[in-house]
Structure 1
Amino acid sequence: MWKPSLASFMLICAFFIAPVHSGYDRDQAVPVEKVLYGDISSVRNITETQLIEDRNQGWKTFGGALVGGVIGHQFGSGSGQDIATVLGALLGAGVGNRYGSSTQVQALTLVELMINQEDGSQVMVIQDYDPGMVFTAGDRVRVVYLQGSVRVDIAR
């Protein structure tokens, strides 16, 4: 019969606690579709509240059950050991489910820009607020159209 060691227990814990890579690379070049210049006609700061739920909840419950079962298996012998393993798995799943969940509320600060572009069109862009780039009505801006998105910055 397999007897778990401290090393196997730590490997199981490390698997469930390891950080998840977001997949965003800062050194990635993104092709630009077009760039237009324009003047801002209005600026409005917006705050958006966003509920962020933990998408790894099921894995945390499973991990808690696995770790609880491993710990419970250390106690008793025979059928008592089987009962301790099942009870440990149930308690571990409960702890993983209860304390592993992390729902947070995040407030995002955005800026809404109405821009009269040099080609005669008018666009409204909502983007993240950057305290290093504060927009005011009348500012000359550059509107950079990327694949599937747009970004505005002050033309210099």
Structure 2
Amino acid sequence: MKNATLAVCISVPLIALSACQQPSDGDGETQISAAACERCGEIESITPVTVKGEPRAGAALAGAVIGGVVGHQFGSGSGNDAATAAGAVGGAVAGSEIDRRRNAKTHYDVVVRMPSGERVELTRVDIAGLSVGDEVEVQGNRIVPAS
């Protein structure tokens, strides 16, 4: 009687566990259902966006000095003064613009299309390892390759 009870106690949990097994794809690997990853989707687009940086005051000042020196080389008398002033103003503007471009930052707007049709838009500073068509999982504000 003890052996029959022991056999029942062992076989019932084994039968229950075998019913929980996920279907196989034929190669012995387990298929993961789409419901297992509710926030998975495919990268639809990656758009780089460049934002100019803020210029430093030193850049405008350096540009003004250089522009003034170059402008001073032209004209004579009051024409020389006007050329110097124009060179200084032009140099300040050019110095600021050069510094803005040098301090520019690029980020990427990434759109992930979910199986439901929902589009999730995220901004990333780095897209290393990601490209359009990749299967990914959206975890809050992060995108990670789907496993």
TM bracket (short chain): 0.3 to 0.5
The structure whose Rg is larger is: 2
Give the TM-score, by structure 2 length: 0.37
Greater share of helix: 2
Greater share of strand: 1
Give the TM-score, by structure 1 length: 0.36
